[in-house]
Chain A
Amino acid sequence: MTSPAPLTFTARVIKAGVAEGEALVSADPIGFLGGVDGQTGIVTERDHPLAGTCVAGKVLVFPTGKGSTVGSYVLYQLAAEGLAPAAIINAESEPIVAVGAIIAEIPMVDQVPIGAIRTGDRVCIEGATVTVSRGADHTR
C-alpha cells in the first residue's frame, strides 16, 4: 500500500531555517512560562491537551502563543538543555513565541492551516515551504 502524497504549504517565515521531525499538534495555545518545564521539555500546564508530553525534537504545531513575555526565555532554556522543539508552526504568530524561537534558533513559520497536520505526521520545513507526510496506516 502506498503512502498518500505529501501536503505542501507555503508559510510565512518568522525564523528562517531548515528542520524535519515528527509533528506534535496542540489545538490549544501554548504559554511557555509556567506551561512548559524548561529543564525537561514536558508540558506542565494542567488540562492542556499536551500535558505530560515532551516537546523535545518535535515539530511543535499550535495555534498561537499566550501568557507571560518571559516565556521567550523558556524556549531559550530548552535549546540550551538540548530539549528544544525541532521547529515551530503556528496558525498566527505572536511576539512571545516568535522572539523565543529567534533567540533559541528554532526554525518557525506561521499562517499554516494547522488543522491539516496531525500528531505523528512527518513534517519538513525549508524556509517558507512546509511539507507534511503521513504513513499509509493513517487514513486521510
Chain B
Amino acid sequence: MGMNTNKVRNADEEDVMRLTAEEQGWLAGEAGPALRRAMEIVTALGTIYGARRLIPVESVQISGVSYRNIGDAGLDFLCRWADEGARVRVPTTLNPTAMDMVSWQTQGLDPDFAAKQRQVVAAFARMGVGKGVPLPTCTPYLIGNRPLPGAHIAWAESSAVAFANSVLGARTNREGGPGAIAAALTGRTGAYGLHLEEHRRATLRVKVDAVLDTISDYSALGALIGRTAQKAVPLFVNLPLEADDPLYEEKLKALGAAMAATGAVALYHVASLTPEATSSDLLTADCACWCIDDLTEGYAMLSDDIERIDLVWIGCPHASLVELAQLTERVAGRRLQVPMWITCARPIRDLAVDSGLVGKIEAAGGQVFADACMAIAPVRNLGFQAVATPSAKGAYYLRNLANVAARFGTLDQCLAAAETGHWPSMGRDA
C-alpha cells in the first residue's frame, strides 16, 4: 500500500480537555511530582471518558487498601507517592482493610501480613487521609463523610458510590483506587458520566411484586437486578418501603451494594422515595421494563451447595448501629457454636461498645471487628472454607475474590448456621 501517512484524527480539534492555568501548572510539574502524577491520572481518565473540563469534588473515598489485593507493588507505589509529598486537598476517607487494625491477632492474622497492612494504612495517613487517622470503612456516610444532595464527589467503593448517588443524591462515578487518590490530591475529577444531569435518568424500570421484608431480601433483589442490568440506572416502582422504615437506609444500602457487585450499577432511583425520583420525566424513552415477583433465584445464584458452615459473616457493607442493635436482639439467649464475625466502622463499634451491644453479642459467642472486610481478607489462611452471610455482595466476593465456598441467606438462616455449624435445610423464612 502506498499510503505513508495515516492521520486518524486531529488532536487539536476534538476531545481536548480545557484546563485552568493552575491545573496546567500542576500537570507540568510546577507543584512537584506527586501532584503532576495525580493530574496525569485525572486528565487521562477525563480524556478516556470524553470530559471537556475538570470539576472540583467535595470529598473522596479511596479503595484498594487491602494488602492481600494490592500486594508489594501497590504498597511500594503508595509509599513512593506519599514520599513525593502527596497530600489530599479535600476530605478523604478510606475503604476497609483486610483486618481489624487493633484486634488482628484475635482474628488470627499472620504478623508479617499485619505489618504490611499497617504500612499501607500508614502511607494513606501520611497523605492526610482521614485527617491523618484513617478509619477504614466502606460506609463513610455513616461516620461523617456524608455529602449533600447535588454535591460532586469522587468515590471508589462501589457500594458507597451507589448509596451516595442514589440515597443521598450526590454525584460520583465509580472511581478506581489510584484514580480516587488522584482526585483527592487534585480535588478534581473529570466532568463526565454521572456528574452530568443527562446521565442520571433511569434506563430501566423495575416493578417489584415480590414480598420484601428483611435487609437480605433487598440484597437478593439487588443481586438479581445487577446481574442483568450491568451499567443500567434502574428505577424501582412498587418497592414496599416507606421513608419512616427503621431500616430504610440499611435496606437501600443492601440493595445498592448487591447491584454494584453482581453488576456495575452506580445509581438507582426508588419511585417517590429517593432524592432524584421526583421528576416526571425520570425514565428515558427507550427504557427496558422488568417485573420481579420472586427472590428465590437471587439467593440461590450466590450460594454454593455446602452444608457445613465454619464462619458466619455479617456487615457487608459495614453494619450500622441500627443493624448491630437488631442483631443484638436476635442473638440474645443463643449460644453460637461457630465463629460469627460482624464488621463495621470503628466509630460505630465504639458506640456499640458504649451502649452495651458489643458485650451482648460477645456473650452469645459473636465478635465485632472494626476496619475489616472479609471479602478482601486472607480468609483461607484464617482457617475458614465455608462462610455464610446475609449479604449478596459478601457472598459474591467471598466466592470470587476470597476463593471460599459461601451461602447467601437470611439473617435467620445465618444465625441458625452459627448455632449449629450447619446450613438450615428449611426454606427461606419470611
Residues on A facing B (Cβ under 8 Å): 5-15, 38, 69-70, 72-74, 76-77, 80, 93-96, 98-99, 102-103, 111-113, 116, 128, 140
Contacts and interface: CB of A to CB of B under 8 A. Distances in A.
B64 A69 contact: yes
A113 to B, nearest CB: 6
B377 to A, nearest CB: 16
B69 interface: yes
Given A5-B4, A14-B47, A98-B45, A73 B70 contact: yes
Interface stretch (B104-112, B174-182, B272-280): B174-182
Contacts of B10: 10
Interface stretch (B36-44, B205-213, B342-350, B385-393): B36-44
Contacts of B177: 69-70, 72
Contacts of A9: 6-8
Interface of B: 1, 3-11, 15, 37, 40-41, 44-45, 47-48, 64, 69-74, 76-77, 176-179
Q: Identify the 5 closest CB pairs spanning chains A and B, nearest first.
A: A77-B73, A5-B4, A73-B73, A73-B74, A69-B176
A71 to B, nearest CB: 10
Contacts of A76: 73-74, 76-77
A111 B6 contact: no
B86 to A, nearest CB: 12
Contacts of B74: 70, 73, 76
B6 A113 contact: yes
A96 B174 CA distance: 13
Contacts of A80: 73, 76
A95 B48 contact: yes
A9 B15 CA distance: 17
Contacts of A103: 37, 41, 77, 178
Contacts of B37: 102-103
A102 B41 contact: yes
B176 A111 contact: no
A98 B178 CA distance: 11
Contacts of B11: 10, 12-13, 128
A113 B3 CA distance: 14
- Residue among B47, B48, B73, B76 with most chain A CB within 10 A: B73
14 contacts: A5-B4, A6-B4, A12-B9, A14-B47, A15-B44, A69-B177, A70-B64, A70-B177, A73-B70, A73-B74, A77-B73, A111-B8, A111-B9, A112-B8
Given A74-B73, A95-B179, 20 more contacts: A6-B4, A7-B5, A8-B7, A9-B6, A12-B9, A13-B11, A15-B44, A69-B177, A70-B71, A70-B177, A76-B77, A77-B71, A94-B48, A95-B48, A98-B44, A98-B45, A99-B176, A102-B37, A103-B77, A113-B8
